[in-house]
């Protein structure tokens, strides 16, 4: 007999995430096991060349292989095999609490919310201007209804209706998704909601990997030339690790 479809599908895109994936999966299991809803965890191996898929299988996750290295494609590949009525996208370096999952599912179950996200709490931000940037993003997120890709929740209906994450871009796909979900929900009397609390804890490792001027350069490029998001070369920031100098 086939297993009944879970109520919640958690989708994790992962490229060479052997270092942190185990911690992330343990965190999700512990958080989800305290909830009454049934769930599944899907890890999308975005063509890793480390132990990422093996770690995911050992933890009992459903593993999907996406050979084309594009974050939006990885997220969509996971959503394609997801069986849950509600979808939650979590990055491999992000650790939502049980309280946040509960708040997210309650929002969706109310029927008043079609999708949303959470404010961010970064770990290991050493420089003050990084912390200032984090606070600015959280303010902007609440003000404009934009979510960071590390934590996004939505109904399957809404996700499929808007066509999922845009595969035309190499980064920023969560911003385009936010806008489409917001418009879709408005037409149906539903809201797109960024939860003010609890926050979602996520890694600040990019602040350690790349210098302040590199962060400034990427931010300026995206703001001044948004079309750069369609270029793999110009979005190197999302696809390289510290051993691979841009």
Which range of residues forms the domain containing residue 44? 8-205
Query: Which class for 243: exposed (0-12), middle (13-18), buried (19 or more C-beta within 10 A)?
Result: exposed
pLDDT per position as a tens digit, 75-96: 999 999 999 999 999 999 999 9
pLDDT at 243: 65
CB 64 within 8 A of CB 83: no
In a domain, 72, yes or no: yes
In a domain, 35, yes or no: yes
pLDDT at 246: 41
CA distances from 18 to 56, 61, 78, 188, 214 (A): 9, 14, 18, 41, 25
In a domain, 50, yes or no: yes
Helix, strand, coil fractions of the chain, as percent rounded to 5: 45, 20, 35
In a domain, 234, yes or no: no
pLDDT per position as a tens digit, 19-59: 999 999 999 999 999 899 999 999 999 999 999 999 999 99
CB 214 within 8 A of CB 182: no
Residue 111 region, left (φ>0) first, then alpha (ψ -120 to 50), else beta? left
CB 180 within 8 A of CB 123: no
Q: Where are the alpha helices (DSSP H) in 110-200?
A: 128-144, 156-161, 173-187
220 sits in which H/E element = helix 212-224
In a domain, 158, yes or no: yes
Is residue 11 very low, low, confident or very high in pLDDT (cuts 50, 70, 90)? very high
DSSP-derived letter for residue 45 is E
Model confidence at 106: pLDDT above 90 = yes
CATH at residue 54: 3.90.550.10
- Considering the chain, what percentage of its residues have pLDDT values greater than 90? 74
pLDDT per position as a tens digit, 204-234: 888 888 888 898 888 888 888 888 999 999 9
In a domain, 239, yes or no: no
d(CA 185, CA 115): 8
Q: What is the residue-averaged pLDDT of the chain?
A: 92
Give the count of domains, the chain. Answer: 1
d(CA 19, CA 218): 25
Model confidence at 133: pLDDT above 90 = no
In a domain, 177, yes or no: yes
d(CA 2, CA 99): 31
pTM confidence score: 0.93
- State whether residue 56 is helix, strand or coil: helix
Model confidence at 181: pLDDT above 70 = yes
pLDDT at 212: 84
In a domain, 245, yes or no: no
Is residue 4 very low, low, confident or very high in pLDDT (cuts 50, 70, 90)? confident
């Amino acid at each position: 007999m086939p297993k009944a479809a879970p109520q919640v599908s958690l989708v994790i895109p992962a490229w060479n995430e052997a270092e942190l994936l185990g911690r992330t999966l343990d965190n999700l299991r512990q958080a989800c096991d305290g909830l009454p809803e049934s769930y599944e965890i899907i890890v999308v191996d975005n063509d890793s060349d480390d132990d990422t898929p093996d770690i995911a299988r050992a933890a009992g996750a459903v593993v999907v292989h996406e050979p084309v290295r594009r974050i939006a494609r990885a997220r969509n590949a996971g959503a394609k095999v997801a069986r849950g009525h509600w979808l939650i996208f979590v990055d491999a370096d992000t650790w939502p609490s049980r309280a946040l999952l509960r708040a997210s599912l309650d929002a969706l179950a109310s029927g008043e919310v079609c999708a949303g996200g959470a404010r961010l709490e970064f770990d290991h931000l050493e420089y003050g201007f990084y912390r200032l940037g984090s606070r600015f993003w959280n303010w902007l997120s609440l003000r404009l209804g934009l979510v960071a890709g590390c934590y996004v929740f939505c109904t399957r209906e809404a996700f499929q209706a808007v066509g999922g994450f845009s595969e035309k871009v190499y980064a920023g796909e969560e911003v385009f998704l936010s806008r489409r979900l917001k418009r879709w929900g408005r037409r149906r009397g539903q809201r797109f909601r960024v939860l003010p609390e609890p926050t979602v804890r996520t890694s600040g490792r990019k602040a350690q990997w790349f210098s302040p001027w590199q962060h400034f350069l990427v931010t300026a490029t995206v703001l001044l030339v948004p079309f750069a998001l369609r270029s793999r070369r110009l979005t190197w920031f999302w696809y390289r690790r510290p051993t691979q100098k841009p």
